[in-house]
Amino acid sequence: MNDKSRQSLEGLLIASGRGNRAAFTALYSETRGLFFGAALRILRDHALAQDAVQDGFLKIWNNAAKYDPSKGSPMSWMGIIVRRAALDRMRSVKNHDSLDGIDVAAPQFEPSNPKVSKCLSLLPKTQGHALILSYVYGYTHEEISGSMVKPVGTIKSWIRRAAIALKECLEA
């Protein structure tokens, strides 16, 4: 995301926090597709993903006044909210008991940003896979631990290290 786009989203989010419905409509139109894709990867169900995105944007609307640009980008802030909404939805329908259908040794994920792809490829494989299973697919540390046959503490460490390394690579 370029600086102009980030500033535009920041402005829309700040205006939404002041109750500007037109700004929120524009913010929703700009970002809903990306967040729907993220929710769909977690939930693997079109209707559930739509519901999660709706829940997420309702939370964004209700909390937009709390957004602080100094703490992160608008996409990161909103992404966390929508991801949590998708995870909450997933837990509420209990359709997510195992990693059935996913190759734990090589989970599928094709980022739209080539820099993300490059940075992911630089991570140790196990750390990268654990990170993808957690952040893209929404699996818990315990689920990943059971599937990868590693202690939960190891999985947590891998994900944390991978997230830090990914952030450093993207900022370089």
Residue 103 lies in a domain: no
Low-confidence ranges of the chain (pLDDT < 70): 1-4, 92-105
Same domain, 33 and 68: yes
* Tens digit of each residue's pLDDT (9 = 90 or more) over 88-121: 887 766 544 455 566 666 777 777 788 988 999 9
Q: What is the pLDDT of residue 42?
A: 83
Q: Is the whole model's pTM more than 0.75, yes or no? A: no
Q: Half-sphere exposure of 72 toward its Cβ, with a 13 Å CA cutoff?
A: 10
Question: What's the pLDDT score for residue 138?
Answer: 78
User: CA-to-CA distance for 102 and 49, rounded, in angstroms?
Assistant: 18
The confidence score (pLDDT) of residue 2 equals 61
Which of 93, 123, 154 lies at the terminal end of a domain, its last residue?
93
14 plus 54 within the same structural domain:
yes
With respect to residue 41, please indicate whether it lies within any of the assigned structural domains. Answer: yes
Cβ-proximal residues to 50 (8 Å cutoff; 6+ apart), any chain: 36, 39
Q: Is the same domain home to 16 and 79?
A: yes
pLDDT at 100: 57
pLDDT at 103: 63
Instruction: State the pLDDT at residue 156.
Output: 94
What is residue 107's predicted lDDT score, i.e. its pLDDT?
74
Q: How many domains does the chain have?
A: 2
pLDDT at 101: 61
On whether residue 81 sits in a domain, the answer given is yes
Q: Which domain holds residue 136?
A: 114-171
Length reported for the chain: 172
Q: What is the pLDDT of residue 4?
A: 64
132 and 75 together in one domain: no
